[in-house]
Structure 1
């Protein structure tokens, strides 16, 4: 495997860097640097999305006929890596990465023609109605009931951990339409308007003090049957396909940026003896060991890109990357919190709000370390828990 970029790919990387330098405003850079999770607040991610939409670069993974870029797998990887290194605000993945590709495969012509352009432009902002209080990792246990009523379904129940439901005007949702057979066989996939009467969104404030997730209640909510994707009671097939787009990604670039930030803070912070923390042998070893593992991940990502470019399916490699990527992220978070010491206990929510004039307490780069640590505790659960990923690897790699 040749790990060097081709001249064409190197030229593309330079084009991407020039575009980011020209279009990534100081305000957008600040919003990106202060993001502590997968999701940047709507104000900033939509502002960045509109810039990319105008350029035609908003959906690199979409087929060209639906508004995608037509990029190769390596170009997509370069784009993601360069955006990560530049600190762009993260676009909401619910519409662009999940709902859009799902509609391309399972949506009716009418659904595709209506929703796909609105996802690209940002006119529709989506949330995901999957998890429930009794159905998280065991998603097939969901109980949000949908009863047919003429041309509608009537929904009663609740969804939880619904990210950005307070911003969204649309939701893609799994509902229970039949409880007589196996759990997976009685699930239906619906698209619904969040402004429909009977929907109530209640905030859940995270350990980091942020309003990112919610609980959504449904009280006699009418959803037109024309908003169903796929056949009634066959929503599990649609849901599984959509989840394929929630996993994977260019982990190595984000981890490399994380290591650089830790090094920057450790160069100014002092250990118990008054020496620079970066010069402490034990601390330096932790950083070096993490860097070696991240480099190994990067090689694996390049190998997956080579297989995709050759028309192959990466198979269990995506599970391996998801597992190692999230666990390495959590490991770096622990090192980052160790770097800022007592400053990690200071709640600086106002100081890390984009545009704030509140002075940070301690190193400015470090004020996001603790909330990022808290948010990323869920990274090894969402998108398919790491225990599930290890089961996939055991089956497909080891034949167990």
Structure 2
């Protein structure tokens, strides 16, 4: 699918490029270039968000009434592509892209007035409390309880794989408020202050040596019922909409940049002279083009006022598996240099010397971190089941 850019779109593209050239600092570019997952540390994240927010560009998908820029879908697509090409670090999605759209749809007016400006400014930094030990892809089996007590719920249980919980001052959670009927029917969506008494955060260090993940424990944590989004026991409805935004996106921009960098490095190392490797690169480029077409279909749903629906499941499978294939090719290019653990050297503006080319610093850590991409947000096996049921009627 070739996107035909109008003169207005071309002028917008030039404006974005000029802005990035002026405001995206050397440090932030290096942070973006050395990212090993979809997240960067909060300080860099919020520094870039503040720059974008000053311009009015921090939330491309938000309506103008809540502080969004009022861009067309084409403009959003252009912006994502230019940011990827410039190595801009990504912004944390939990606030801007996940809980914010849910609040716009299901939140009370008071919740919208309070939380949305704080998300936009970065004053509230969110994490997501969905998965639990024994309730990951089978999210409906979650057990963390929320018992009503006057104007509050009292929470007991834990959440796991909670990205950036050690940075966050807010968490949105799915909790169990009923044990009768279908498991999905007894779930409620809550907004929680991470400073609430009884919350404990314990780190989980990944294979790459990064600290992104955590387990969060709740011991008699009181949460006002006013912090509920949607009706009690109807949190599954809210959660499904949020997961559609988590699974959908504009992954093709980053994938195209990623495969091009791998190809450039492979050519420098002589790997592109190998027919088998060259064929794998070509096949992956075709797959990424198909992902871009799927994204355009999802964007069309947004234009019509809808949501991505089951197409987000299709895109989630395509994008995460393509990303993992890009990582595999990058590891092959890195060769023996990729086996060297260089966590300190790959930090932004590190003065520590590193072994091999710069691309080898992140090849294996990115490979490790992105193995989880086909699991989080609902495993790809679950997504295939959803496609079979909702799209194919099986």
Q: TM-score range by the shorter chain?
A: over 0.9
Report what 1:295 is aligned to.
Answer: 289
Question: Normalised by the size of structure 1, how large is the TM-score?
Answer: 0.94
The equivalent residue for 1:349 is 343
- The answer for the alignment partner of 2:354 in structure 1 is 360
Listed one character per residue, the Cα deviations across residues 151-178 of structure 1 (whole Å, up to 9, x for unaligned) are 2211111100000000000000111111
After superposition, the C-alpha distances for 1:182-202 in whole angstroms (9 at most, x for unaligned) are 211111111111011111000
Residues 66 and 254 (structure 1 numbering): CA distance in 2 closer, same or farther, change over 3 Å?
same
Specify the alignment match of 2:16 in structure 1. Answer: 16
Equivalent in the alignment of 1:50? 50
Distance 1:24 1:122 in 2: 18
State the partner residue of 1:146: 146
Distance 2:189 2:299 in 1: 31
**DSSP 3-state at the match of 1:190:** strand
In structure 2, the CA distance between the partners of 1:311 and 1:278, relative to structure 1 (3 Å rule), is: same
Report the more deviating stretch, 221-230 or 128-137: 221-230
SS of the counterpart of 1:376? helix
User: Which moved further from structure 2: 333-342 or 379-388?
Assistant: 379-388
Q: Does 1:379 align with 2:373?
A: yes
Does residue 1:317 correspond to 2:311, yes or no? Answer: yes
Q: Which residue matches 1:272?
A: none
Task: State how far apart, in whole Å, the 1-side matches of 2:289 and 2:176 are.
Answer: 44
Q: TM-score, normalised by structure 2?
A: 0.96
Q: Deviations over 1:256-306 (max 9, x none)?
A: 11112212322333xxxxxx2232222222212212222233234345445
Displacement of 1:309 in angstroms is 3.8
Query: How does 1:279-294 map onto structure 2 within 5 Å?
Result: 279-294=273-288
In structure 1, how many angstroms separate the alpha carbons of the residues matched to 2:48 and 2:3?
31
User: Can you give the 5+ residue segments of structure 2 that lack an aligned partner in the other structure?
Assistant: none
Look up the match of 1:369.
363
Instruction: Render the CA deviation track for 1:45-89: whole Å, top value 9, x for unaligned.
Output: 100000011111111111110111111111111111111111111
Secondary structure (helix, strand or coil) at the match of 1:48 reads helix
SS of residue paired to 1:379 = helix
- Is 1:265–1:366's contact at 8 Å kept on the other side of the alignment? no
Matched residues in 2 for 1:314 and 1:188: separation? 23
| Contact 1:125–1:169 (Cα < 8 Å) also in 2 | yes
1:232, CA displacement in angstroms? 1.6
Tell me, yes or no, if the aligned pair for 1:327 and 1:380 is still in contact at 8 Å: yes
Aligned residues of 2:244 and 2:309 also touching (Cα < 8 A): no
Instruction: Report 1:229-248 matches (<5 A).
Output: 229-248=229-248
My pick for the range that moved more, 125-134 or 238-247, is 238-247
Question: Over the residues paired in the alignment, what is the CA RMSD in angstroms?
Answer: 1.7
Cα distance in 1 for partners of 2:231, 2:312 equals 29
Contact 1:74 / 1:309 at 8 angstroms: preserved in 2?
no
CA distance in 2, matches of 1:301, 1:184: 29
State yes or no: 1:334 paired with 2:328: yes
Change (3 A) 1:54 1:337: same
